[in-house]
Amino acid sequence: MSLVALAAALVATIGAAFAVRTTDARLAALATSLCLLMAPLVADPLPDPLVLAIRLVAAIVAGYLLLLPVRRAAPLLGALRLGGTAEAGFVVAAFAVGLLAGPVASQAQGPATALAGGFALLLAGLDLLAFVEDGVRLGTGATLTLSGAALVLSAFAGTPSNAFQAGLGLLLVAVAAAAAWLALLAIGTRGELRFGARHRDLRDVG
Amino acid sequence: MSLVLFLVLALTGAVVTLATARWPAARGTLALLASAACVVVAYRLDAGTAVHLGDGSLVVTHYLRLWLLCASAAILLLVLAGLLLSGRERIAPAALLTLAASAVGLAAPDLAAGLLVLCGAAAVAGLVAAGRVAEGSPTLRVAVDALRVTVVFAALGLLGVAWAVEPGVSLEPTTVTVAYLLVAAALALRVGSVPLHLPAARLAVSAPRGAVPLLLGWLPAAAAVVLLAWFSVTVLPLQPDLGWWPALPTALALLTLAATSIAILVQDDLGHVLGYMAIQGGAFALLTMGALDAAAAVEARTWLLILPLTLAALATVVLLIERAFGSGRAVELRGWIRRAPATAGALVLALVATYGLPGMAQFTARQRIAELAAGRPLGLVGLLAAALALLAWARVAWIGLQPVGAIVHEGAGERPALPPGPDQASGPAGGPPPIAPRLLGLLARGRLAIELNRVGLAALVALALALLPVALGIGAGHLADAAAEPIPTPIATPSSSPSSSPSPSPSPSVSPSVEPTAEPTASSEPTSSGSPGPSGGPSETPSPSSAAPSSVAPSPPGPSTGPSVGP
């Protein structure tokens, strides 16, 4: 087991747990950026330096984009459904499950740490994606979900190709930009980061 | 011409039209120019070539060329219709971004990377749905849900592909089943199959009409083509025994065909109807997953190119009716056909292109997919259930043939109108006027003539849009042959270790793949274009994907095996 991969997976998991637990949008964005920085290092062998650079830039840009709306609205966010601590606990538990399941996964060609980190990021991301009502944590959830899914892929298929890594970097930036734009629209119309109530009837919208 | 040129044009066009949002006239002109240039470059693309970018490559196939040509033409006409009807251009950045993403997504042999690029474009293009957020927060929620769908789709797709990344590798049945179900779920979510249809249905209502073909047509169809390509080259060759699991996507797809027809029948709003038409068309991609047959995958590639074209035509017709008469509710459109016969003609052509007539490619594709997935009687029932939606359109037509109602009477019809005659200006000595004023006068009259005939001209654009899928269906472009050509692979091939440098010899990085053909035959092709060159910049070379003999590939189900030959 590569120590670099293990350390990176641990840091990414802690970052994901923190992003789930915190109610400060700035900290959530920073924790997400940290996760995205660590995710490409959870590989054995490590990707090419060029790929690492691409993912590094993508992580920084995505974090910056998620921070943009926070400058225009109060950074405090609502609590998650089960409470941040409980859900952060689930994220850490997902890491442990992945670490245990990695060696016994018959198709796995990558490190077990990738499966562990992937499970943790995936759980944190899906949790945020499903339950949050604000743009910053929507972006956090979206990018963590995608990074987690990519880590699971690398756990089964080995270190992904450079084209895949470049595509993932583009996707992370695109998703963060979309979430930031939606958050800015929410601030423009409602004055806060939350999106507002869900309307079931859209007949008069268009 | 090179695919790189196409990408540069599309991306530059997207950026420039986004940057000129405050100058509608300039933006409209630039959008027209960029999409027209994309049409020209797509027409001149050389199929069978590959562009090398670093250690990756983009392979131009006949199918890709046809896809880009049709998409560029449809976007050009959509932009033109939007400009004629509203004087403003709202979809160009998203549309041109969609073009670029489609070019990369469908040309990348690394299908997982292609999927990611398409999802990135979908995430950004989905923001178009939030464009009218000033009217209230519902559109914002719709855009948020669209982003959620895109992300979950990408994650499900990656998780599914992760279990079976390389063609030709034997897998345990459980592994194949899990991968199959994950990808089927991703596909169901992306095309909006029942019961996951609400985000797509809401998107169709809240997005600008011109954006509906992008968000529910071109982007989901391209993603479905990529996922079905994965399905064709990894799962099908294994001839997996998936038990009763394939019945699940089949049942969902059949349910979608029936439920969308009912929704279309009870809906009065044409925007809703348009959304459900898109969802219904996407159900055939899910049916393909249930078919477990290479022939169905080929037919799906045919259908998935025609579907967005028909949606573009229908969206233009709906936009025309809404703009011309100020209402999109069928009950308020009494007599609309009397005022807009060309629009009615475009609607008829669009419906013919959607459902097809015997002998047309779309008719054959839908029929074969349904029959291969659900068997002859049940597949036929599914097709008939889908065709029930035609009753709703027949009602719209019946209302349109009634005497003209008040709302339609006040609206703008297609009747040609001529601008008033030119001023009889004369020159200084009573002779002919100077050339410059005459030209300016002619120009002003031309602009006035366009102003007076916006609806009629837009109807002609709608007719042209509707003719595209009809032409494809009757054999133009050899779509069926293009759909049957080999799919570039490998899929998400793990990169070699850092110590192993790229080899200059062409053989080591060539991977075997299995391709579906028009007949259920098997072929194995070296599909990545040789080993990457030492240079990092783009280079263009003929792709060996249509040339080299087969070597190492498992056999997919089918009566015969052998190398397939692209068109």
ipTM of the complex: 0.92
What residues does B51 pair with on adjacent strands?
A: B58, B540
Q: A2: helix, coil or strand?
A: coil
Q: Amino acid letter at B34?
A: A
Percent of chain B with pLDDT over 90: 43
pLDDT exceeds cutoff 90 at A131: no
Instruction: Please state, as a whole number, how many other Cβ atoms lie within 10 Å of the Cβ of residue A35.
Output: 31
Q: What is the pLDDT of residue A101?
A: 81
Nearest chain B residue to A181, by CA: B127
Q: How far is A111 from chain B (nearest CA, A)?
A: 13
Sign of the Cα torsion B94, B140, B326, B201 reads: positive
pLDDT exceeds cutoff 70 at B449: yes
Q: How far is B151 from chain A (nearest CA, A)?
A: 6
Q: How far is B343 from chain A (nearest CA, A)?
A: 21
Q: What is the pLDDT of residue B126?
A: 82
Q: DSSP letter at B58?
A: E
Q: A197: helix, coil or strand?
A: coil
What DSSP assignment string belongs to A83-139?
Answer: -HHHHHHHHHHHHHHHHHHGGG-TT--S-HHHHHHHHHHHHHHHHHHHH--BHHHHH
Question: Contact, A9 vs A117, CB < 8 A?
Answer: yes
More confidently predicted of B437 and A70: A70
Interchain pair A45, B498: CB under 8 A: yes
Which region among A31-35, B142-146, B252-256, B368-372 has the lowest average model confidence (pLDDT)?
B142-146
Tokens of A144: 């963590």
Residue B498 binned pLDDT confidence (cut-offs 50, 70, 90): very low
pLDDT exceeds cutoff 60 at B283: yes
Q: Please write the tens of the pLDDT for every residue from B386-403.
A: 999 999 999 999 999 999
Percent of chain B with pLDDT over 70: 80
Tell me the average pLDDT of chain B. 81
pLDDT exceeds cutoff 70 at B265: yes
For chain B, the domains span 3-401+452-483
Interchain pair A182, B143: CB under 8 A: yes
Q: A52: helix, coil or strand?
A: helix
Q: Treating both helix axes as pointing N-terminal to C-terminal, what angle do B294-325 and B361-374 enclose, rounded to 10 degrees?
A: 130
More confidently predicted of B239 and A165: A165
As a whole number, mean pLDDT of residues A9-20 equals: 93
- Residue B514 φ/ψ, nearest 5 degrees: -120, 130
pLDDT exceeds cutoff 70 at B553: no
More confidently predicted of A64 and B55: A64
Residue B524 binned pLDDT confidence (cut-offs 50, 70, 90): very low
pLDDT exceeds cutoff 90 at B425: no
Q: What is the pLDDT of residue B427?
A: 58
* Beta strand ranges found along B56-211 (DSSP E): 56-59
Q: What is the pLDDT of residue B49?
A: 84
Chain B residues close to A175, C-beta within 8 Å: 120, 123, 147, 150-151
Which whole-number Å values give the CA distances from A72 to A177, A187, A193, B291, B509, in the listed order? 16, 7, 9, 52, 51
Nearest Cβ partner for B175 among A107, A109, A150:
A107
Which whole-number Å values give the CA distances from A184 to A70, B255, B537, in the listed order? 9, 39, 37
Question: Contact, B307 vs B221, CB < 8 A?
Answer: yes
Question: Contact, B387 vs B370, CB < 8 A?
Answer: no
Q: Measure the CA–CA gap between A178 and A156, rounded to whole angstroms.
A: 29
More confidently predicted of B352 and B86: B352
Interchain pair A175, B498: CB under 8 A: no
Nearest chain A residue to B58, by CA: A163
Q: What is the pLDDT of residue B165?
A: 62
Residue B280: partners with Cβ closer than 8 Å, 6 or more residues away: B256, B257, B260, B261, B264, B386, B389
Q: How far is B147 from chain A (nearest CA, A)?
A: 8
Q: Treating both helix axes as pointing N-terminal to C-terminal, what angle do B219-230 and B138-163 enclose, rounded to 10 degrees?
A: 10
More confidently predicted of B16 and A134: B16
pLDDT exceeds cutoff 50 at B235: yes
Q: Please write the tens of the pLDDT for every residue from A55-72.
A: 999 999 999 999 998 887
Residue B13: partners with Cβ closer than 8 Å, 6 or more residues away: B30, B31, B33, B34, B35, B37, B38, B92, B96
For chain A, the domains span 3-190
Q: What is the pLDDT of residue B556?
A: 39
Question: Contact, B501 vs B179, CB < 8 A?
Answer: no
pLDDT exceeds cutoff 60 at B356: yes
Instruction: Please state, as a whole number, how many other Cβ atoms lie within 10 Å of the Cβ of residue B289.
Output: 31
Q: What is the pLDDT of residue B547?
A: 38
Instruction: Flag whether residue B189 sits within 8 Å of chain A, measured between CB atoms.
Output: no
Q: DSSP letter at B544?
A: G
More confidently predicted of B1 and A189: A189
Sign of the Cα torsion A91, A97, A100, A102 reads: negative
Residue B538 binned pLDDT confidence (cut-offs 50, 70, 90): low
Tell me the average pLDDT of chain A. 85
Nearest Cβ partner for B147 among A46, A179, A189:
A179
Interchain pair B123, A175: CB under 8 A: yes
Q: What is the pLDDT of residue A105?
A: 65
**R_g (Cα) of chain B, nearest Å:** 25
pLDDT exceeds cutoff 90 at B285: yes
Tokens of A12: 């990414």
Residue B341 binned pLDDT confidence (cut-offs 50, 70, 90): very high
Which region among B91-100, B156-165, B223-232 has the lowest average model confidence (pLDDT)?
B156-165
